[in-house]
């Protein structure tokens, strides 16, 4: 086995090992991690996390990676909770890298284990996505990460079936998910206690500041697309640039 293949194997093995470990951790702590239970002991939890930062960061990182890698729809709630527990910057860095690690794990599972089965199921869709990747390159994945209408796990699985390199998928996903991650972490960091969320629901953290963040998040794909079209025009690149919108409409009609 060559050096590059050996490194790729150990990287894939390490990422795959995080999923079962994280799932076991989440299962064992399923009751303790509920919002109701967390709300009852919020002060003690934050105090314990400050006294044991390495352990608390590790638990959140592994659990978050496992949840996103297994396509469990819990990332938004975990991001908000991390922002509340650790504050903005520690939670932002932690969940940002954990979400990319989970996305990479799902990407590799799709590429290594489910490639042919899923390729047959989504043959028509894959042709469109592969054509868009060939035409627009990594920018296409970046726009998909910015558009909130596309399911997180769908992007990970489908991209695993395309020729895109793992390294490109990782760094583009890392950058593309930063705005959304920052939004949810900021919402959690601005929340005084989890008791507010447990008692009042999402309405307990909605204010003009949070609404402004959501507005900016919605405008970001439009601005990024406009800048990209200007960049294409400046370089004299021709071809259809509406691939992202076509994919969004396709998802909406399913």
Q: Which residues of 3-13 are buried (b: 16+ CB within 10 A; e: fewer)?
A: eeeeeeeeebe
Burial of 97 from C-beta contacts in 10 A (0-12 / 13-18 / 19+): middle
Q: What is the pLDDT of residues 18-37, one digit of tens each?
A: 667 767 766 666 666 666 66
Decide if 23 contacts 30 (C-beta within 8 A): no
Please give the residue that has the higher pLDDT: either 250 or 89.
Answer: 89
Residue 86 pLDDT > 50, yes or no?
A: yes
φ and ψ of 164, to 5 deg: -60, 140
φ and ψ of 31, to 5 deg: -75, -40
Residue 16: predicted pLDDT: 64
| Owning domain of residue 116 | 3-253
Q: What is the pLDDT of residues 186-241, one digit of tens each?
A: 877 877 666 666 666 666 666 677 677 677 767 776 777 777 677 667 766 555 44
Structurally, how many domains does the chain consist of? Answer: 1
Residue among 143, 171, 168, 173 nearest 156 (CA): 173
With a CB cutoff of 8 Å and minimum separation 6, the contacts of 49 are 56, 85, 86
Residue among 24, 88, 35, 34 nearest 59 (CA): 24
Written as six digits, the tokens of 25 are 């951790």
């Amino acid at each position: 086995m060559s050096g590059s293949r050996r490194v790729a194997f150990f990287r894939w093995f390490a990422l795959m090992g995080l999923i079962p470990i994280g799932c076991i951790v989440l299962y064992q702590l399923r009751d303790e991690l509920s919002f109701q239970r967390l709300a009852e002991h919020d002060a003690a939890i934050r105090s314990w996390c400050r006294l044991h930062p390495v352990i608390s960061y590790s638990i959140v990182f592994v659990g978050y990676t496992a949840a996103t890698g297994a396509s469990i729809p819990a990332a938004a709630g975990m991001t908000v909770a991390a922002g509340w527990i650790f504050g903005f910057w520690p939670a932002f860095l932690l969940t940002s890298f954990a979400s990319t690690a989970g996305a990479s794990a799902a990407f590799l599972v799709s590429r290594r284990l489910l490639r042919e089965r899923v390729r047959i199921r989504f043959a028509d869709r894959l042709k469109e996505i592969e054509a868009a990747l060939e035409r627009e390159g990594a920018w296409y994945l970046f726009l998909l990460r910015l558009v909130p209408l596309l399911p997180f796990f769908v992007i990970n699985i489908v991209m695993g079936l395309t020729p895109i390199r793992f390294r490109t998928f990782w760094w583009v996903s890392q950058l593309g998910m930063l705005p959304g991650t920052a939004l949810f972490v900021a919402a959690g960091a601005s929340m005084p206690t989890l008791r507010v969320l447990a008692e009042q629901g999402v309405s307990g953290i909605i204010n003009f500041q949070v609404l402004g963040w959501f507005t900016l998040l919605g405008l970001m794909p439009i601005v990024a697309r406009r800048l990209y079209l200007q960049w294409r025009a400046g370089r004299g690149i021709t071809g259809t640039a509406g691939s992202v919108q076509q994919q969004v409409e396709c998802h909406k009609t399913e």
